[in-house]
């Protein structure tokens, strides 16, 4: 049971956000003389690197989600509240949530990031982001809805906007998602939709710079580009999106594509509750921290993961927004707080880069580990192993492995159910559907 400040024997650490960083920090406090309170709007942790497989039907949502309370069932000093955090009051050390106020001695802000549309409200209204399970399920439903809508059109020209799939952003999310959708075109379209031709469907990957996977090596970028093109994905590099009205996406070079579905993975921005001073917010809506993950100018408050901006001489642009950074910072901050409770000092945080990887459809991936580069089938097996062992829960690992095995041998993209239709104002009225 949660206790009042005056009745506590140990300091309370509140962690906002059950992403990679928040969960790792909470786990490090096991059997320590602190009281841990984790707050999140959902009652589950999501393994975000496999979100695109939910969006494309390879995995069900519960295969990459794990209940928070079950995750910490053996940690006696752990408490959880499913709530929306409204405000942080540093002066009174109070966190205000949708279910009440909670006081703290130490606070870890691990609220992660959301999609960044760079101020383009029109694109934000009509494009589909993919930063949550709900959004991934919306994409899955809407991809299938577009295929069903295409079947109802007799005229090939009328079908085209329902069969043009545009993914914006050439990072790992965009690359993996465009490869997965291209495999739907190659392996599933003709089987499930014999009225449609594979030649009618187009998958576009739009990137604003001159290469995809910019954070990886030049070799990985080139290999991934080749793999995508072999799958039939059309790359549009050095291309910025200027607008999207739900029917047509336009670009800075004057080109446009008629499409009903644009998936946005071009950028992220930090998200956090009220109470963080505006003057310490960096580019990308990130909170400035020192070398020990402490929020600049605030006492006993830390920020980790995608919401933090640790600008140092070694990392003038901050750390990359990847899961290992959040996990390592979560572990570091937990140890830092325990040292602080015991009156001990800590060295600054140092990120150990274990490498980067991305899969490009079936049997192909790229892996960078220091100066070592790997590609193709062996890289794909490496990618599978790393992701499989990283998922929480034995059941989730087994379900994922079985789904991957079935897909490997059958080339079946799996779950093609429209449970909850995705609806938006840009969808054509039924009266415009061409009748058979």
3-class DSSP string for 335-387: HHHHHHHCCCCCCCCCCCCCCEEEECCCCCEEEEECCEEEEHHHHHHHHHHHH
Question: With contact defined as beta carbons under 8 Å apart, do 150 and 159 qualify?
Answer: yes
- 24-57 pLDDT, tens per residue? 999 999 999 999 999 999 999 999 999 999 999 9
Averaged over 362-366, what is the pLDDT? 93
- 324 membership: H or E segment, kind and range: helix 323-341
- 406 membership: H or E segment, kind and range: helix 394-410
Catalytic residue selected from 24, 35, 135, 176: 176
Quote the CA–CA distance of 428 and 245 in Å, as a whole number: 13
- 146-172 pLDDT, tens per residue? 999 999 998 888 899 999 999 999 999
Structure pTM?
0.92
In 15-132, alpha helices (H): 20-28, 51-55, 68-71, 121-126
Q: With cut-offs at 50, 70 and 90, classify the pLDDT of residue 425.
A: low
Tell me where in the chain the CATH 3.50.50.60 domain(s) lie.
Answer: 5-41+83-115+268-341
Question: Strands, E, within 152-276: which ranges?
Answer: 164-168, 202-206, 234-236, 241-244, 248-251, 256-258, 261-264, 268-270
Q: Which residue has the tokens 């009174």?
A: 92
Q: With cut-offs at 50, 70 and 90, classify the pLDDT of residue 8.
A: confident
Which pLDDT score, from 0 to 100, does residue 435 have?
A: 42
Which pLDDT score, from 0 to 100, does residue 434 have?
A: 44
- 273-313 pLDDT, tens per residue? 999 999 999 999 999 999 999 999 999 999 999 999 998 88
Averaged over 181-210, what is the pLDDT? 94
- 197-220 pLDDT, tens per residue? 999 999 999 999 999 999 999 999
- Over 50: is that where the pLDDT of 431 sits? no
The domain 121-266+362-426 is placed in CATH, from the list 3.40.50.720, 3.90.1150.10, 3.30.70.20, 3.50.50.100, at 3.50.50.100
Averaged over 170-176, what is the pLDDT? 96
Architecture of domain 5-41+83-115+268-341: 3-Layer(bba) Sandwich (3.50)
Residue of higher predicted confidence among 317 and 109: 109
Question: With contact defined as beta carbons under 8 Å apart, do 194 and 248 qualify?
Answer: no
Which pLDDT score, from 0 to 100, does residue 429 have?
A: 44
Beta bridge partners of 67: 44
Average pLDDT, the chain: 93
Averaged over 418-425, what is the pLDDT? 80
- Over 50: is that where the pLDDT of 345 sits? yes
Averaged over 328-348, what is the pLDDT? 95
Is 176 tagged catalytic? yes
Q: With cut-offs at 50, 70 and 90, classify the pLDDT of residue 413.
A: low
Which pLDDT score, from 0 to 100, does residue 424 have?
A: 66
Tell me where in the chain the CATH 3.50.50.100 domain(s) lie.
Answer: 121-266+362-426
Averaged over 348-361, what is the pLDDT? 93
User: Percent of the chain scored above 90 by pLDDT?
Assistant: 84
Which pLDDT score, from 0 to 100, does residue 318 have?
A: 87
């Amino acid at each position: 049971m949660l206790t009042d400040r005056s009745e506590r024997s140990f300091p309370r650490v509140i962690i906002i956000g059950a992403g990679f960083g928040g969960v790792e920090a909470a786990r490090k406090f096991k059997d320590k003389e602190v009281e841990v309170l984790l707050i999140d709007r959902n009652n589950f942790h999501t393994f975000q690197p496999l979100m695109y497989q939910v969006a494309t039907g390879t995995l069900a949502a519960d295969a990459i989600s794990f209940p928070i309370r079950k995750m910490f069932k053996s940690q006696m000093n752990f408490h959880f509240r499913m709530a929306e955090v409204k405000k942080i009051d540093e002066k009174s050390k109070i966190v205000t949530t949708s279910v009440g106020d909670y006081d703290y001695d130490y606070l870890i802000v691990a609220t992660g990031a959301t999609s960044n549309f760079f101020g383009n409200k029109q694109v934000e209204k009509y494009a589909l982001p993919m930063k949550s399970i709900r959004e991934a399920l919306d994409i899955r439903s809407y991809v299938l809805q577009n295929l069903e809508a295409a079947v109802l059109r007799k005229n090939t020209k009328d079908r085209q906007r329902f069969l043009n799939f545009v993914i914006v952003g050439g990072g790992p999310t965009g690359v993996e998602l465009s490869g997965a959708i291209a495999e739907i075109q190659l392996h599933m379209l003709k089987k499930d939709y014999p009225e449609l031709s594979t030649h009618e469907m187009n998958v576009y990957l739009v990137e604003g710079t001159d290469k995809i996977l910019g954070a990886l090596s030049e070799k990985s970028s080139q290999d991934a580009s080749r793999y995508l093109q072999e799958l039939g994905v059309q790359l549009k590099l050095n291309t910025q999106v200027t607008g999207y009205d739900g029917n047509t996406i336009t670009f800075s070079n004057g080109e446009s594509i008629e499409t009903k579905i644009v998936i946005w993975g071009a950028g992220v921005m930090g998200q956090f509750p009220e109470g963080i001073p505006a003057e310490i917010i960096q580019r990308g809506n990130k909170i400035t921290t020192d070398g020990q993950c402490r929020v600049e100018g605030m006492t006993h408050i830390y920020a980790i993961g995608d919401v933090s901006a640790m600008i140092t001489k070694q990392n003038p642009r901050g750390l990359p927004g990847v899961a290992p950074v959040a996990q390592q910072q979560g572990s570091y901050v937990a140890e830092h707080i325990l040292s602080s409770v015991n009156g001990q000092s800590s060295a600054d945080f140092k990120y150990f880069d274990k490498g980067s990887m991305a899969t490009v459809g079936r049997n192909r991936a790229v892996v960078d580990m220091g100066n070592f580069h790997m590609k193709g089938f062996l890289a794909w097996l490496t990618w599978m192993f790393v992701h499989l062992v990283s998922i929480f829960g034995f059941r989730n690992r087994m379900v994922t492995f079985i789904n991957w095995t079935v897909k490997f041998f059958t080339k079946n993209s799996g779950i093609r159910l429209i449970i909850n239709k995705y609806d938006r104002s840009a969808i054509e009225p039924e009266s415009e559907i061409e009748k058979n």
